[in-house]
Structure 1
């Protein structure tokens, strides 16, 4: 059985993909799946469903939603008792699944492998692992689920993690001298993240290495205008240093293997 949260939340066996029809049962399943193979406390599930104002019947209602999830499991995997997959403990519930079949856990394995390769100087392996991590996403995570406080926090974490993987993968590509290959992607990322210094730095460097110095300087100007107008901030010292280096046509910028002081770090889970 495949466990999917990096897109629509679902359980899948072959071509049979299922999710509870009741919104709160689907919400319970989503929180269990993002924490697959870890205990999720009853309190955490109740907080996710009702925040700070749970009804008196919250525990009974939660048990009903768990029953609905188990009924779905019984339909999908009739040869395995649902209570062996969705375990009840004195403090909560644990959804047990093969980590290799959980898309979020596959993503994390590729992400961590890419991070190790990148920091070890193996940029080819880093690019391969980061691309594999990003390929696991089938769409916006938790797309079909109403989200409470805990799922919303998970969504924010995933968005930051995914952005970090994109940034570090592109950094590895630049170190391999692939500025032409990543230029179009960087333009789109800088447009979608108008105040993200990392993507703008990379775009400036890629443009410069492609012989487009005026465009690289325009990227800096647009970023500065956005930061000042929206946040009242100037670009960081590292961005200002890069701008001066581009103005001076610093030969050090031409080296594909040169590492910037703004080397990104992929957020840890």
Structure 2
């Protein structure tokens, strides 16, 4: 068998999508409905003799005249010759079998991975197994045989397996501590599947573990309203557990070969910590306010600073109120502000909310911590700009984090410009310090340089690489292998973030990923099949969001972090990737394609 990019076996027969046969490492579609049906019937599962009469009945259904055996023989001869199946399709007694030897179909590989994940005690490892299994699907199972009743039944079973694996993946991610990132994904999924109680329970738990208990209870109330009846027993029991803050809802202890990876200190963020310390001290000792806004690309460490602000403020006896921008609430006026004060009936206008904050601050210093302003509803984001110049005479600290990912953020950040602090990537020395803390390796270990090159000094990417290295070390492997694989958490982060961008961002990212390294505007426009204006628009979005950097001296663009570029490249569908490579080959002066 050949190997796929993720290091797992590439199946020779693929059923999870259009029916394909892999020949010399290249997936080829099977032309002709009857030929596809023959391959699929023999591969469900392979190695089992299918009687000739049964095979004809499956492939031709009610339209099976006496001449069908001859037609079947003709199709089998074609399949053996065209797809290298001469030794694989064998006559046995009164029928035929597909003998793939040690090879498995993609359906078998997916099922094996899902079963292994169910038996895996380490949730991080279970997440990786399930993601690999789900990546086998290229669309709906047996999609090009949906007209035939016998294959529809198998497709229903395979799609049920896929849904179950997705549910199990979410459960594993919750057990692995990925609740913060799941809140957004599950919130969107709950909007699409309004009556899926299991999905809503997962969203409730993710919200609860993210410190958003009231929102979790609101999800339960919304679920019952949508159902038009009482929720099932499992949902009611979860609501009761949330109401009493049951310890059973807390994150379970991590088990497995690697164990948890410590978050480590805030590396090379002394200046930002000093700003937070000074702001809290000013509110407590001088009863005057401060606004701090941390701006930077994904994974740069904004949320870690906000967490530091919460801890510092609580330790000084301040009242802390938190809110996080949530795409599912982006069209709900005042949603972000209401999340700050879930225990109050706020007036629906800026003046009234401001005086509510004044009254709160009179009881003691108040620290407002707001993450992901770029995903907050516009009314709430504008209120932050309204509030900022008015906190100076109040014991109020506003600490916020934002990225330039939405139309109104530039305007908001402009209003907050005097208080905005742009976070930079870590220097090489700081990146080495972080990696040494996470992995336990000496600072001069050869793997350090590779991590710095791939991450570009991004703390989140460094942490994820460090996690992979630690797992390799604990299992006795070579830490260098961590640099040769796409890190699942990074892949999820990139796909999630790009999903919130307008489509042109994905168009530009894919073109840049295929070209690799640095590329100019002309080359990107030539490689992408999209209109030039769309590519330029996407490039602007990616640059503003710090996914891509512009090298002014050469007029070229590149991913800020090579690891992100590799992840974008790996996520491109094979057929689309081939088309982009073909276009790249025709572009003069861009260097060799990846």
TM-score by length of 2: 0.38
**Is residue 217 of structure 2 the alignment partner of residue 240 of structure 1?**
no
**Is residue 71 of structure 2 the alignment partner of residue 64 of structure 1?**
yes
Native 8 Å contact 1:209 1:253 kept in 2: no
Higher radius of gyration, 1 or 2: 2
**Is residue 93 of structure 2 the alignment partner of residue 97 of structure 1?**
no
Native 8 Å contact 1:47 1:149 kept in 2: no
- CA displacement 1:112-150 (0-9 Å, x = unmatched): 111111xxx322221121111112222222122244222
Aligned to 1:29: 39
Q: Secondary structure at the match of 2:21?
A: strand
User: How far 1:39 sits from its partner (Å)?
Assistant: 2.4
Q: 1:209 to 1:46 in 2, by over 3 A?
A: same
**Is residue 122 of structure 2 the alignment partner of residue 122 of structure 1?**
yes
Q: Secondary structure at the match of 1:11?
A: strand
Separation (CA, whole Å) in 1 of partners of 2:33 and 2:232: 44
Q: 1:184 to 1:45 in 2, by over 3 A?
A: farther
Aligned to 1:189: 189
Q: Secondary structure at the match of 1:88?
A: strand
What aligned pairs does 1:106-145 form with structure 2 within 5 A after superposition?
106-117=109-120, 121-145=121-145
User: How far 1:159 sits from its partner (Å)?
Assistant: 1.1
Aligned to 1:39: 49
Native 8 Å contact 1:9 1:30 kept in 2: yes
Q: 1:111 to 1:128 in 2, by over 3 A?
A: same
Q: 1:39 to 1:200 in 2, by over 3 A?
A: farther
Native 8 Å contact 1:205 1:253 kept in 2: no
Greater helix fraction, Structure 1 or Structure 2: 1
Native 8 Å contact 1:110 1:129 kept in 2: yes
TM-score by length of 1: 0.78
User: How far 1:16 sits from its partner (Å)?
Assistant: 4.4
Separation (CA, whole Å) in 2 of partners of 1:25 and 1:172: 39
User: How far 1:253 sits from its partner (Å)?
Assistant: 5.3
**Is residue 21 of structure 2 the alignment partner of residue 18 of structure 1?**
no
Aligned residues: 243
Structure 2: tracts of 5 or more residues without a match: 2-11, 254-594
Aligned to 1:252: 247
Separation (CA, whole Å) in 1 of partners of 2:230 and 2:50: 43
Q: 1:73 to 1:49 in 2, by over 3 A?
A: closer
Native 8 Å contact 1:205 1:216 kept in 2: yes
Structure 1: tracts of 5 or more residues without a match: 259-269
Separation (CA, whole Å) in 1 of partners of 2:143 and 2:184: 27
> Cα RMSD over matched residues?
2.6
User: How far 1:254 sits from its partner (Å)?
Assistant: 4.5
User: How far 1:207 sits from its partner (Å)?
Assistant: 1.3
Greater CA deviation, 143-152 or 130-139? 143-152
Separation (CA, whole Å) in 1 of partners of 2:147 and 2:211: 46
Larger relative CO (CA 8 A, sep 6+): 1 or 2? 1
**Is residue 149 of structure 2 the alignment partner of residue 149 of structure 1?**
yes
Q: 1:92 to 1:220 in 2, by over 3 A?
A: farther
Q: Secondary structure at the match of 1:94?
A: strand
Aligned to 2:160: 160
Native 8 Å contact 1:23 1:146 kept in 2: no
Separation (CA, whole Å) in 2 of partners of 1:50 and 1:227: 43
Q: 1:204 to 1:162 in 2, by over 3 A?
A: same
Q: 1:99 to 1:243 in 2, by over 3 A?
A: farther
